[in-house]
Amino acid sequence: MKAAFVYSDDFARFSYGSDHPLKPVRLRLTYELIRACGLLGDPDPRLIEPAPAGIEDLLTFHTRDYLDVLQAANNGEYREGAEAYGLGYGDNPVFPGMFDWSRLVAGASLKAADLVDSGEASIAFNIAGGLHHALASRASGFCYINDPVLAIRRLVSRGRRVAYIDIDAHHGDGVQEAFYDTDRVLTISLHETGAMLFPGSGFEQETGEGAGSGYSVNVPLPPEADDEIFVQAFTEVVPPLVERFRPDIVVSQLGVDTFVSDPLAHLNVTTNGFCTMVAMIKSLAPKWVALGGGGYDLSNVARAWTLAWAIMNDTDAPEEIPAAYLERYAGAGFLNRRLRDEPVATESGKREMMRKETDRVIGFIRERLVPRRS
């Protein structure tokens, strides 16, 4: 199997609440669009059903007391003291099945890691994954369990060197923190600057400590950075660092809250730049665990991850979204029948200012390249 799609219909049965921006139904929209575009058959051997992660799996990163709090709140009832663990109103609500949801997402990422590490697949894509903000004992940024960390830790425990590439609009702070002091994992995060956006971190000076010094790489980008700026930064930073590090496996977070119409960030990426970066990750990765991530415009999520799945399978996606799909999901915000975006034009003076800031950050990183593998 070249590429595996790790997915469960149960992903979409959970809800953070009607007013919350993260809507798990986006995962069903993506899966159904992939099928409507002829990129998955029925049945299809590439479609893999995950099982929930076990408690022992979660304990490889998260603390026992935190897991106890999550488990106690799984019925959707707030427990006194839960706010100390990041739970409550706002970003990380207590909702029915919260712990079940988190375990299922984590189990899917662990399954993707197992498929790739065993050689059963060279690529595995878990669109529900990429919940990169969760800390060892605290929920953060819509994330309760940090599935990228769990997947990477499993791979590292088996002696693998892992490069983590994160192109979400928000800094992958939870993943960085988990591996900040090791040279077994190279973390690279390209995101909107923390001076303007949650979680307020991910500055270029954050480069690791101890044995991990030089192995945490951050590329903070200015607001309104578009395809040209984002792809420039990716091209100049990611390939040389990954090639020097020579990972056994690449784990990527493919968030699409970078897109121009996303309500929670201020970037101007389109499917054009996104697909360019996905194709570059594919060319760099000897084996590839691909995870989803942010994305709060439902149509962007479905379209972008459908195109990513096509790239993973070396096939062309259609130009238009099938009419039957658009009719079925008429309320999901699809503005037209095109699967791909038109490029977004940025005023030249503004782009020049963004390019200067991006060049400054890239220059800083070039002075602190990851050491060659011994």
Asked if residues 133 and 143 have their Cβ atoms less than 8 Å apart, the reply is yes
The pLDDT of 333-355, averaged and rounded, is 93
Q: Confidence class of residue 374 from pLDDT cuts 50, 70 and 90? A: very low
Percent of the chain with pLDDT over 70: 99
Per CATH, the homologous superfamily of domain 3-366 is Histone deacetylase domain (3.40.800.20)
Catalytic residue among 132, 133, 170, 171: 133
Query: For 119-173, what is each residue's pLDDT tens digit?
Result: 999 999 999 999 999 999 999 999 999 999 999 999 999 999 999 999 999 999 9
What gap in Å lies between CA 124 and CA 116, rounded to an integer?
A: 6
Residue 189 has phi, psi (to 5 degrees) of -125, 120
DSSP string, 271-332: HHHHHHHHHHHHHH-SSEEEE-----SHHHHHHHHHHHHHHHTT-PPPSB--HHHHHHTGGG
What gap in Å lies between CA 362 and CA 13, rounded to an integer?
A: 42
What gap in Å lies between CA 208 and CA 214, rounded to an integer?
A: 6
Asked if residues 127 and 30 have their Cβ atoms less than 8 Å apart, the reply is yes
DSSP-derived letter for residue 21 is: S
Residue 278 has what pLDDT? Answer: 98
Query: For residue 371, is pLDDT > 70?
Result: no
The pLDDT of 60-77, averaged and rounded, is 97
Query: For residue 373, is pLDDT > 60?
Result: no
Q: Is the dihedral of CA 192, 194, 197, 198 positive or negative?
A: positive
Residue 133 annotated in active site: yes
Q: Where are the domains of the chain?
A: 3-366
Query: For 296-311, what is each residue's pLDDT tens digit?
Result: 999 999 999 999 999 9
Best CA proximity match to 174, nearest among 161, 189, 160: 189
Residue 251 has phi, psi (to 5 degrees) of -110, 125
Q: Confidence class of residue 1 from pLDDT cuts 50, 70 and 90? A: confident
Residue 8 has what pLDDT? Answer: 98
